[in-house]
Chain A
Amino acid sequence: MTARWAVPEKLLVRQFFLQNTGLFLVVLMLSFGFLSSVEHIALATYALHDPAFLAIYVLIWAIYAVYALRFSLQLFQTNDLLQFFRLVPPMKRILMLYLLHLQLLTPVIFYAGFMLWVGSKQQTTLANGLVILVVGLLSLLPLPFVERALRNPNPEQFTGNLGAWLRQRLSTPYGLFFIRYLFRDQPATLFLSKTGSCLVMIGVLALYPTDDYDIRLLSLGMLLSAVFHAGIVFEFYQFEATQLLLLRNLPLSLTRRLLNYIGIVALIISPEAVLLLYNHPGDVSIPDVTGVWAFGLSLLLLQYVTLLSRHHDRDRFMGRLFWPIIGYFLLIMYHLPAWGLSIAGLAVAAILFFRTYYRSFWETEK
């Protein structure tokens, strides 16, 4: 049992959580960055008393369960090692598959447990029963689909007529390689990072006219927005280092490479530029707003060159952002202009890039 358990556990459960670390970090930032524990309890209490609000929770859990199932199905259909499950006796196989997929559902189970804890205090018996029923059903959901995937391994990939038609006629320029990768392989990280970042920008733009604020509020918003992008920046670093290694063999000058990276990063934070330009407060000029956006651009680029300067795994990289954020917070509060911060940031990023690009490499775990 141990040997039969260890391989699928490493392939499925660990890989799922490793590949979605960025997603979970963004979710944690969104849920615990803005809400206190008291507010979490209040929300859970409200959901347990209001069927419509509870339905939203159920919907989110169902989306997560489907997302995890999609990951699992792709793996079961394409990884030949997992086909050994067909040799396991049916009852034992179903039990193993159930326990494996239950681990993917851990975030939902923990949150449902928290709701049950709140519900037991509120004595909302019916709602508690519903939560247990929903989690129970979601835990069973993968079994028929995974069984089917095991019986139909390596299906023919159909990428759609439109996709095939476009591929015959168009070619992706290098500047869009990573953007395509984000949309195709990291949609959840992309969606949550951009949603979090854009919500912050919308929030500060809405807050600005309500009091005697100045451009520092927009700069602080951009600082927080850049933090939301840390997962995407790490994905960018990982993508280039592991899947696009041949880039380093291409005869491109360092200046050209840096300009390429600036262009890609600018594309990533272009939605924030649109938000700022179309909704900027009347007393903040376009050049000043552009300076705020360029500040964000420099922050993303600094994150990237930090990874080039010294390889970090995702967790350590995220952890290392704390003190620079505090530093930038103080610089903004001391009235350093956004343009000044952005030019200084871009200059430091450029110097670090020129010094470290050819020395950098992706280090596998020790």
Chain B
Amino acid sequence: MLSIRNFQKSYHNRLVLAIPQADFSPGIHWLKGRNGSGKTTFFRSVAGLLPFEGTLVLDNKYDIRQQPVEYRLRVNYGEAEPLYPQFLSAWELIRWVAATKQSPNQQVDELIDLFGIRDFMKTPVGTYSSGMLKKTSLVLAFLGKPHLILLDEPLITLDHATTRVVIERIRQQRQQGVSFLLSTHQDVDPTELPVDSTWIIQNQTLELLPQPA
């Protein structure tokens, strides 16, 4: 599903991540790592938000450099700590992203109701609590017809009911062929969310953890 070759990311000439090779098969993949290990940098690079050295290819077809539009049409990203212009409303952001991600009809309404943001979505983002902001970012992350969704700490700041909604939505989408890269410090019950592989970012690289027997 996602192939990574010779990936390198540096800040101010300081190496943050070096991944010679990694292949993610279709499924749900959990990325672990300590604070500051480079998880968000990795997610942002895969989402096309940050420049890096190396190649990323989705579905053996869409190279992030050769097919930047096709790639971005199929890779969505939900930030750990989303930051949007304070004066815009969730509705304005959703409409804009839905239009560019070619979101199917009815999907916007369905996601708005699923995450329960209809009551506040037309007020400015600056008035939102962290949970409301997180719900907005999750709606944006599920818009369109993605093949891969990157969710950086998708469960933080959410109430219990919404946490259940997120997990259920990930399950549903997985059944429809969407893959996920998740990072979370919270323990996820494998019976609720079956994870196909677990990876760890440490020592400036990404390693596959052996699956428990």
Known: A177-B88, A251-B101. Contact between A157 and B127, CB under 8 A?
yes
Residues of A within 8 A of B126 (CB): 157
Q: Which of A139-147, A334-342, A358-366 contacts B (4 or more CB under 8 A)?
A: A358-366
Q: Which of B16-24, B62-70, B109-117, B200-208 contacts A (4 or more CB under 8 A)?
A: B62-70
Q: Which of B63-79 contact A (CB under 8 A)?
A: 65, 68-73, 75-77, 79
- Let me know if A35 is at the binding interface, CB within 8 A: no
Instruction: List residues of chain A with CB within 8 A of the CB of B76.
Output: 249
**29 residue pairs from A and B, CB less than 8 Å apart:** A157-B127, A159-B124, A164-B123, A167-B123, A168-B122, A172-B92, A177-B85, A180-B87, A181-B87, A185-B86, A185-B87, A242-B83, A243-B84, A243-B85, A245-B49, A245-B79, A245-B83, A248-B48, A249-B47, A249-B77, A250-B72, A251-B70, A251-B71, A251-B72, A251-B73, A252-B100, A358-B68, A360-B51, A361-B49
**Which residues B1-59 have CB closer than 8 A to chain A?**
11-12, 44, 47-51
A358 proximity list for chain B (CB < 8 A): 48, 51, 65, 68
Chain B CB within 10 A, most for which of A177, A184, A244, A250: A250
Q: What's the least CB distance linking B119 to chain A, in Å?
A: 13
Contacts of B92 in A (CB 8 A): 171-172
Q: Give the Cβ gap from A109 to chain B, nearest Cβ, in Å.
A: 32
Interface string of A242-280 (1 = CB under 8 A from B): 111110111111100000000000000000000000000
When the two chains form their complex, are residues A244 and B85 in contact, meaning their CB atoms are under 8 A apart? yes
Q: Looking at A244, A253, A366, which has the most chain B CB atoms within 10 Å of its CB? A: A244
A246→B87 contact, CB < 8 A: no
Of all chain B residues, the one with the shortest Cβ separation from A184 is B87
What are the residues of chain A within 8 A of B86 when measuring CB–CB?
Answer: 185
Nearest CB of B to A68, in Å: 20
With known contacts A243-B84, A249-B77, A251-B101, A361–B51 Cβ distance under 8 A: yes
Task: Check A246 against B101 for contact (C-beta < 8 Å).
Answer: no
User: Which of chain B's residues 180-196 have a Cβ closer than 8 Å to chain A?
Assistant: none
Minimum-distance CB pairs A-B, first 7:
A251-B73, A251-B72, A250-B100, A359-B51, A251-B69, A248-B49, A243-B85
Q: Which residues 310-359 of A sit at the B interface, judged by CB distance below 8 A?
A: 358-359
Q: How far is the CA of A110 from the CA of B47 in the complex (A)?
A: 49
A245 and B40 alpha carbons, distance in the complex (Å) = 13
* Interface contacts beyond A251-B73, A363-B12: sample of 17 additional A-B pairs, CB < 8 Å, sorted by A: A157-B126, A164-B123, A167-B122, A168-B122, A171-B92, A171-B96, A185-B87, A246-B79, A249-B48, A249-B72, A249-B77, A251-B70, A251-B100, A251-B102, A252-B72, A253-B68, A361-B50
Within the assembled complex, what's the spacing in Å between the Cα atoms of A246 and B72? 11
A229 to B48, CA, bound (A): 30
Any B CB within 8 A of the CB of A34? no
Interface size on A, residues (CB 8 A): 33
Check if B12 sits within 8 Å of A366, measured CB to CB: yes
Instruction: Say if the beta carbon of B151 comes within 8 Å of chain A.
Output: no
CA distance A251 to B44 in the complex (A): 15
Q: Report which A residues bind B (CB closer than 8 A).
A: 157, 159, 164, 167-168, 171-174, 177, 180-181, 184-185, 239, 242-246, 248-254, 358-361, 363, 366
Q: Which of A159, A168, A173, A250 is within 8 Å of B97, CB to CB?
A: A250
Chain A hits for B12, CB < 8 A: 363, 366
Q: Which residues of B contact A248 (CB under 8 A)?
A: 47-49
Collect the chain B residues with CB atoms within 8 Å of residue A185's CB: 86-87
Report the bound CA distance from A248 to B48 in whole Å: 6
**In the complex, what distance in Å separates the CA atom of A244 from the CA atom of B124?**
15
A358 to chain B minimum Cβ distance, whole angstroms, is 6
Residues from chain A with Cβ under 8 Å of B100 in the complex: 250-252
Task: Determine if B178 is an interface residue (Cβ-Cβ < 8 Å).
Answer: no
